[in-house]
Chain A
Amino acid sequence: MRWLRQAMAVLALNLRTIPARLSSSAVAIVGIAGVVVVFVSVLSIAAGFSAAMRGSGSAGRALVMRSGADSELTSGISGPNADLIKQAPGIQRKGQIALASAELYVIIDLPKKATPDKPANVPMRGIEPAGMEARDEVSLVEGRMFEFGTNEVIVGRGANGQFLGMNVGDTIVSGQNRWQVVGLFEADGAVAETEIWCDARALQGAYRRGNSYQSVLVRLESPDSLTMFRDSLTSNPQLNVMIRRENEYYAGQSQAMTRLIQTIGFGIAGLMGVGAVFGAILTMYTAVASRAREIATLRALGFTTSAVLFSVVGESLALGGIGGLIGGVLAYLAFNGYQTSTMNFQTFSQVAFAFRVTPQLLGMGLFYALAMGFIGGLFPAIRAARLPIPSALREL
């Protein structure tokens, strides 16, 4: 109890005198805040990208592609095989119609708003009427659905935000093809929102794909019907396909990119953190040196060494906490919800996403800041506690 009172008294004294040592304390605070800003903002890119990919697709749907294909882009399924797939058991049906959509996936070059002079790979998906019903999270937010059998398209909200000429009423020109934009759609923030959708047959005609598709998307009777559906297709000797749950397909695509960003983020923030600890050590060392006489006086009066130790570490922790809070708030204000797009290397196409400064990231940032403050204060604290009283009292 007495120890605690002592420690608190010295700590309060230390904290109250921070304004007097403002410039030196600011160095530690700015350093730690800088680390937290970089740490939180870089990881918010990974969190945003990963959330966009993981939020895509549903466990209640399955995607059929040619076996060996690593994405829809490299897959190919002939028209007759697509019809065969639609007859498999396990697919939800509405009356006679299976909720299955044979689809095409191509990439067209269109200018990005951020870099209007450079083309970006925008994904374009040809769907069948059941494709809308199979995806119940998709809803139109502006305009209307395209008419099957025409060159009309609807555009995802993400694509509308990232690329030029994607508003209702615009015409998208690609090679010799003209596509009329008649509507905008939302899909719960999924990857589909970066896509342009049209009639699969119109796309077959435009790119001379004959009667061939790239994938078949089916809505399962229930998430558990996947095994039945898969067994039926893989045991059919006429088909050479692989079946993946839709959400797993998209989640798998996020791994390489998320890991790369996280590696870079942790690496950079880790090194910066070491530097910030050095900065904090310098600050606390100065703080201790400038108060050597006061500390020695306190100890001569009977304050224990551990109380002195505690007070120095406490001050450093406070600096770390302030730096962490400033850094977290700055990162949140500057980057949370920042809309951008990047290349998904598995499908070679653009994905729009928003940076996400999550509470978890802010918590990690603050914890990291406190850790830097703690380590930064520890050595100067030991030094303060060990200061020989007589010589410190004599020092100017």
Chain B
Amino acid sequence: MKFLPLVWKNVWRRKFRTTFTLLSIFIAFLLFGILMTIRTAFALGVEIAGIDRLVLINKVSLIIPLPLSYQVQLQQVPGVEVATHQTWFNGIYQDPANFFANIVVEPEPFLKVYSEFVVPPDQVKAWLADRQGAIVGKDLAERFQWKIGDRIPLTGTIWQPKQGSAWEFNISGIYDAADGVDKTQFFFRYDYLDENRAGGAGLVGWYVIKVADPSTSVDLARRFDEMFANSSAETKTTTEKGFVESFASQIGDIGAIMIAIASTVLFMFGLVAASTMAQSVRERTSELAVLKTLGFTDAAILVLVLAESLFVALAGGSLGLLAAWLFVQRGDPTGGLLAIFVLPARDLVIGVALMVSMGVLAGVVPAVAAMRLRIPDALRRT
């Protein structure tokens, strides 16, 4: 510990060089944080998908509807806690560029199944009382500055109303949720849709089933699919996690691309750090020899150089990661394209581990070289 001032002095021996090395590492970890955020955004929240929820869709594909009559049959299967259905509405608010997910649900079972959505009780009551009511995510409400009680028109694309061309909704409530949960969705009531749509009565998009015991999920999924086999609408049931994963994989392997870019970035800037350290040790050969003459052990020299390298990596890296975190806190810069915009805690931990590795890797060659210096050679070399 008493050698900390010595490390500090060495770090700032060449202010200009250290400053730019710190800045390089700062940029590297700022980028790392942003790349991991993009990766998480394109994974569509797979990490928080409920393990106790199954998604049942038409075997042909998600866009082919299912009959409403399946609900009763699903509900009767032992081990099923709640079976509820949802429908993709695909309505447009003012302009197609204002895209957000608007989904038709059954309010009570919906809130039971998605316990991660937090809605104040009086707002729930208002939603249950108003057929045209809708609840919207906090981020969505902020995006369009909606308040409770606002009247929102959506133009139907799939579902046309019997009269007029727009569907009208009242905002009954605003839901909040933990980080990493999509807060940009718009949910409204199935009974309103079914009564007013021009066609397609009794058809729903897909079912979400909450099971009592997650360990029975796989068996239950098979059982459901067998129930509806050879019917006019065969089904395919997966866990919600599996469903989200396969949907995300359709966009492409964004995760792999982001990791490839992050690796390039860390390699590039690791090289900068390593080159700086090597140079700094080379310049100090005679000083290190003097330290050894004074009785510093080989191990102490090794630690001294490594500490310097670690300090630079950790200082630059932490600031970079902090900047990334602050940037992410400001919210999605694309205005709604990336619904989940968070820097997961896991990636922060990985980031710190990478800083340590970068510090060690950049410092190890010069540190070993410094340790192995033979005093007479080193003193002569200058």
Contact = CB atoms under 8 A, between A and B. Distances in A.
B271 to A, nearest CB: 5
B182 to A, nearest CB: 15
A279 interface: yes
Nearest to B97: A256
Q: Give the interface centre of B232, B261, B268 by most chain A CB atoms within 10 Å.
A: B268
B269 to A, nearest CB: 6
Given A23-B278, A68-B160, A342-B251, A34 B24 contact: no
Nearest to B158: A74
Interface residues of A, number: 56
A121 B62 contact: yes
A109 interface: yes
B157 A69 contact: yes
Interface stretch (A111-119, A133-141, A142-150): A111-119
B179 interface: no
A115 B250 CA distance: 9
Nearest to A114: B253
A118 B245 contact: yes
B35 A108 contact: no
Interface stretch (A186-194, A243-251, A267-275, A296-304): A267-275
B252 interface: yes
Given A106-B64, A275-B24, A282-B272, A260 B334 contact: yes
Contacts of A264: 38
A174 B60 contact: yes
Contacts of B334: 260, 263
B81 to A, nearest CB: 27
Nearest to A75: B157
Q: Give the interface centre of A34, A119, A177 by most chain B CB atoms within 10 Å.
A: A119
A325 interface: no
A85 interface: no
Main secondary structure of the interface of B (DSSP, over half): helix
Contacts of B329: none
Contacts of A281: 20
Q: For the side of the interface on B, what is the size category? A: 35 or more
A70 B90 contact: yes
Contacts of B252: 340-343
B63 interface: yes
A175 B58 contact: yes
Nearest to B261: A38
A100 B232 CA distance: 32
Interface string A51-90: 0000000000000000011100110000000000000000
Interface in A314-356: 340-343, 348, 350
Interface in B10-32: 16-17, 20-21, 23-24, 27-28, 30-31
A120 B157 CA distance: 23
Interface string A27-41: 100110011011000
Contacts of A42: 257, 261
Interface in B29-79: 30-31, 34-35, 38, 58-64
Contact of B31 (A24, A107, A272, A341): A272
B272 A27 contact: yes
A378 to B, nearest CB: 14
Given A106-B64, A260-B337, A274-B27, A68 B278 contact: no
A258 to B, nearest CB: 12
Nearest to A34: B268
B246 interface: yes
Contacts of B59: 109, 174-175
Nearest to A350: B250
B272 A278 contact: yes
B232 A208 contact: yes
Interface in B344-360: none
B27 A275 contact: yes
B27 A271 contact: yes
Contacts of B24: 275, 278-279, 282
Interface in B273-323: 275-276, 278-279
Nearest to A340: B252
A176 interface: yes
B27 A120 contact: no
B268 A276 contact: yes
B157 A68 contact: yes
A374 B262 CA distance: 25
A208 B200 CA distance: 12
B94 interface: no
Contact of B279 (A26, A73, A106, A286): A286
Contacts of B251: 342-343
Contacts of B253: 114
A272 B265 contact: yes
B264 interface: yes
A119 B252 CA distance: 13
Contact of B264 (A34, A74, A175, A256): A34
A285 interface: yes
B196 interface: no
Contacts of B261: 38, 42, 268
B16 to A, nearest CB: 6
A68 B165 contact: yes
A30 B275 CA distance: 12
Contacts of B27: 271-272, 274-275, 278
Interface of A: 23-24, 26-27, 30-31, 34-35, 37-38, 42, 68-70, 73-74, 106-109, 112, 114-115, 118-121, 174-177, 207-208, 256, 260, 263-264, 267-268, 271-272, 274-276, 278-279, 281-282, 285-286, 340-343, 348, 350
Closest 7 CB pairs of A and B: A275-B27, A118-B246, A74-B157, A175-B60, A34-B268, A278-B24, A107-B61
18 contacts: A23-B278, A30-B271, A31-B272, A35-B268, A68-B156, A70-B96, A115-B249, A121-B63, A175-B58, A256-B337, A260-B337, A264-B38, A271-B34, A275-B23, A275-B269, A278-B24, A282-B21, A285-B20
Given A70-B157, A106-B64, 11 more contacts: A27-B272, A30-B268, A37-B264, A38-B261, A119-B61, A268-B35, A275-B28, A275-B265, A282-B20, A282-B275, A348-B63
Interface of B: 16-17, 20-21, 23-24, 27-28, 30-31, 34-35, 38, 58-64, 90, 92, 96-97, 155-158, 160, 165, 230, 232, 234, 236, 245-246, 249-253, 257, 261, 264-265, 267-269, 271-272, 275-276, 278-279, 334, 337
